[in-house]
Structure 1
Amino acid sequence: MRPLALFVLVAGLPAWAGGDAPASPAAPAEPFAFADFTWLNGNSRQKDALLDSKYFTGEFRADMNLVYDFNHPQDHTLVGSSELGRTTEVQVQQLGLGGDFHWENVRGRIMTQFGMYSTMTPRNDASPSKGQWQTDNAYRYISEAYGGYHWDALHGVNLDAGIFMSYIGLFSYYNFDNWAYQPSYVSSNTPWFFNGLRLQVFPSDRLKLELWLINGWQSYNMLNNTPGIGASLNWRPTGSVNLISNNYFIGADTLGNQKRTRRHTDNSLQWKYWERPDRLVTRMAATFTFDLGDEQGGGVSRSGTATAPKQYFAGWMLYNRFWFGERHAVTVGGGAITNPGRYLVLMPPINGATAASGTPYFTQNPGDPYHAWDGSVTYDYMPNPFLTLRAEFNRRGASVPYFAGPGGVTPPGGNQGAPGSAVPGWAPDLKKTESRMTLAMLVKF
């Protein structure tokens, strides 16, 4: 025994007073911090927050686009996209200001949405037509708004209340974070936001579990008298693999039909299978997503009967991205869906139609057939972590006339009568296919 340690022992002091102190219990590892996941589709490629401080981490996003539609709709209206609304014009798709508040264990987030998103997102929600207070107007300039609390248990536990992003469909609501501008139908036709409660539990630094109690399937209000219930699992076993399973267990999401219930499962694999910084192609990664869902009761069924037609959703999408250094990338991909009853198909804005109004020109009756497919090629130039210049070609098709043709979807002289109503002597010009080019400038700080 060393003399100093013997003196410490005799003096009754802790044995480590003259030597090495015992190690303090290690703090739990921060979730998903064990590897660099900036390669993921739906995740920002930025490694550091530029506008960070002790109490607030600021965020600014700007998304501008120009679309050339080879169908040449005379009213410049694009149909069937939750990301794009106008053609042959420069448009501000989304401008967001906000960020994250954090003090001790209290947390909060606010992000605004100005531009086309503030009109296009609310019109796809039928719930504001139930009751009063015009919630589509109250919420239209907000994409995220929640407050919550963090517990230092396991590797973290969070409880948030408000409007938060949905993970269903893999792609982010914000195009800067994505590999492509126009995602395939599986993503574009599934929820971008939820309004309610979210419980996040991190059992380890590689696993996140979530439980949702929400007003419904991308709905500001509750369409009937049944809340939506869902859950999510995100597991990243290595820095090259990401597995996601999102599940919507039950919800009554058809306006005025509380007997009709909805289920949905959304599952994705992301795999980075090549990382060679010294090669021409420095990185390659792929994503595969498949979704299944159905509605039952209230006049419909999963398999279809004489009195209850088929009402289900099945779809997939596959993307592959190639990086050439950190400034250039090319993404190819596409997918397909089948959705009898069309309950997840975006309502074409014919004569101002919304999800609440519907339109006689594109019915959503039980069992109405709908099959669609798409493919895209995307080129990104990323001169620094804050800017993406994107060029993309899309080709889309459907089994029924759906996309705007040369005559457009707006009656002569503008919308007439109630939204979505029939106009005597006029019909929209709808086509089964569409090709377009998109140029976009995406900024994020």
Structure 2
Amino acid sequence: MKAAARPFQLSGAVDVYYGYDFSEPIGLDRLYTTQAYRHNEFNLNWAFLRADYATDRVRATLALHTGTYVQANYAAEPNELTQLIAQANAGVRLAEGVWLDAGILPSHIGYESTFSGNNEIYTRALMAENSPYYETGARLTAAVSEKVTMKFLVLNGWQNIQETNNAKSLGFGISYTPTEELELSYNNYYGNEAPDEMEAKRRFFHNINAGYTFSDRFSMGASADYGRQELFGSDETGSWYAGMLIARYRLSKHFALAGRVEHYNDADQIIITTDTPGGFQTSSTSLNFDYIPAPNFLWRLEARGYNSKDSIFYGEEEAEENNLLLVTSFSFKF
């Protein structure tokens, strides 16, 4: 990593939205998501302010945030002040291309990132929503070559800032860029998900991502997850898996289209609890339209449909197997 022209950099973003969930959820909180979390309401999805300091030897980041994404995704954090921290980490260069960072870090897992403007589609895939957006611990990053980068992590756990037991979790990631057009990565996680007063319940999770840029207009990406965990209240081990395919086509300088198809299968209800016989076995399809009036501004329109094995979408009427979301958003970053 080269030192920035100025050691200190300030950046930020705002993402506001209006979404209509046709299941009409009771209390307006949408189920199974953290993005476009509120139904039939203009609201702030995510806003953050980030300060970075970087030289050729040390670096640090502090980012604060708020919005309905924070309300949904950080609900398990017991300290309300902690919930306001998106990132808080510091790092030191140990050797050429080798950095050690510690603190609250962005997740090493997944294809899609937290800020909507960095993704092809406004809402996140089910697999992104149900794997960590952030993690707390220490990360060793080593640029093995210009094409290969590896990460080794020791973490408090699966997306938590405050520790939930005395055990520590492990993570690993490797990214490979054989050409300018192709990006590949593999990431994993291993840890005990049970509190100290219970018998250990170990989770082992794998994530694979691929992205290919065909031209300056057209790109595609794919991602797959597979996890196993010892079940609570049982000596058996359960599993879950997910897959996604996404594509984006830039129509012109100011307009773009994107689509995504995906499936998430958690029949054992390890990650997503539905209290139904089949658990969470759900497919989703999204179509997204972008208007880009300036490089740092996006106006997005998305239609997203869901189909589930069980009737899991609860609202004012009876629970249904199918659901539809319509959402529009403005996002700005500097």
Q: CA 1:74–1:214 in 2, change beyond 3 Å: closer, same or farther?
A: closer
1:67 aligns with 2:10: no
- Name the residue aligned to 1:95: 47
Q: What SS class does the counterpart of residue 158 from structure 1 fall into?
A: strand
Q: How many residues are paired up?
A: 332
Select which of 119, 126, 135 maps to 1:178. Answer: 119
- Name the residue aligned to 2:249: 322
1:251 aligns with 2:185: no
Aligned 8 A contact 2:150 2:172 in 1:
yes
Percent of aligned pairs with the same residue?
A: 21
Aligned 8 A contact 1:227 1:251 in 2:
yes
- Name the residue aligned to 1:223: 164
Q: CA 1:239–1:79 in 2, change beyond 3 Å: closer, same or farther?
A: same
- Name the residue aligned to 2:101: 160
Could you tell me which amino acid in structure 2 is paired with residue 314 of structure 1? Answer: Y
Q: What SS class does the counterpart of residue 177 from structure 2 fall into?
A: strand
Mapped to 2, the partners of 1:71 and 1:236 lie a distance apart of 42
Q: Which moved more, 1:210-219 or 1:397-406?
A: 397-406
Mapped to 2, the partners of 1:150 and 1:245 lie a distance apart of 24
Q: What SS class does the counterpart of residue 227 from structure 2 fall into?
A: strand
Aligned 8 A contact 2:278 2:310 in 1:
no
Give 1:152 deviation, angstroms.
4.3
Q: What SS class does the counterpart of residue 66 from structure 2 fall into?
A: coil
Q: CA 1:254–1:181 in 2, change beyond 3 Å: closer, same or farther?
A: farther
**In the TM superposition, what are the counterparts of 1:293-372 in structure 2 within 5 Å?**
293-296=227-230, 299-300=233-234, 308=236, 311-345=238-272, 362-363=274-275, 369-372=279-282
Q: What SS class does the counterpart of residue 127 from structure 2 fall into?
A: helix
Select which of 206, 230, 246 maps to 1:265. Answer: 206
- Name the residue aligned to 1:285: 219
| RMSD, aligned α-carbons | 2.1
Give 1:149 deviation, angstroms.
0.8
Q: CA 1:226–1:258 in 2, change beyond 3 Å: closer, same or farther?
A: farther
**In the TM superposition, what are the counterparts of 1:181-192 in structure 2 within 5 Å?**
181-192=122-133
Mapped to 2, the partners of 1:406 and 1:339 lie a distance apart of 25
Mapped to 1, the partners of 2:198 and 2:182 lie a distance apart of 41
Give 1:327 deviation, angstroms.
2.0
Could you tell me which amino acid in structure 2 is paired with residue 402 of structure 1? Answer: I
Aligned 8 A contact 1:223 1:252 in 2:
no
1:392 aligns with 2:319: no
Give 1:144 deviation, angstroms.
1.0
Q: CA 1:254–1:84 in 2, change beyond 3 Å: closer, same or farther?
A: farther
Mapped to 1, the partners of 2:29 and 2:14 lie a distance apart of 22
Could you tell me which amino acid in structure 2 is paired with residue 98 of structure 1? Answer: R
Q: Which moved more, 1:178-187 or 1:312-321?
A: 178-187
Q: What SS class does the counterpart of residue 219 from structure 1 fall into?
A: coil
Mapped to 1, the partners of 2:333 and 2:118 lie a distance apart of 9
Q: What SS class does the counterpart of residue 27 from structure 2 fall into?
A: coil
Give 1:161 deviation, angstroms.
0.7
Aligned 8 A contact 2:26 2:314 in 1:
no
Aligned 8 A contact 2:107 2:135 in 1:
yes
Mapped to 2, the partners of 1:168 and 1:402 lie a distance apart of 27
Q: What SS class does the counterpart of residue 81 from structure 2 fall into?
A: helix
Select which of 316, 328, 334 maps to 1:406. Answer: 316
**In the TM superposition, what are the counterparts of 1:43-82 in structure 2 within 5 Å?**
54-73=6-25, 75-82=27-34
Give 1:399 deviation, angstroms.
2.0
Q: What SS class does the counterpart of residue 145 from structure 1 fall into?
A: strand
Structure 2: 5+ residue stretches without partners: none
Q: Which moved more, 1:80-89 or 1:255-264?
A: 255-264
Structure 1: 5+ residue stretches without partners: 1-29, 32-51, 129-133, 276-281, 301-306, 348-361, 408-428
TM-score calculated relative to the size of structure 1: 0.70
Mapped to 1, the partners of 2:150 and 2:321 lie a distance apart of 41
- Name the residue aligned to 1:34: none
Mapped to 2, the partners of 1:315 and 1:74 lie a distance apart of 28
Give 1:178 deviation, angstroms.
0.5
Could you tell me which amino acid in structure 2 is paired with residue 101 of structure 1? Answer: Y
